[in-house]
Amino acid sequence: MSTDPRGPHAWDRLWAPHRKEYLADEAGNFDADSCPFCIAQGVSDSEGLVVVRRSATFVVMNKYPYNSGHLLVCTNRHVPLYDELTPEEVIQIGELTAQAMRTLRTVANAAGFNIGLNQGNVAGAGVADHIHQHIVPRWAGDINFMPIVGGTKVLPELIEQTRLLLSESWSD
Q: In terms of Cα–Cα distance, which of 100, 66, 93, 69 is closest to 79? A: 93
Give the residue ranges of DSSP H helices in 5-158: 36-41, 45-48, 87-108, 145
Sign of CA dihedral 132, 110, 51, 86: negative
| Enclosing H/E stretch for 166 | helix 159-169
100 and 114 in contact (C-beta within 8 Å)? no
Q: Which residues are catalytic?
A: 132
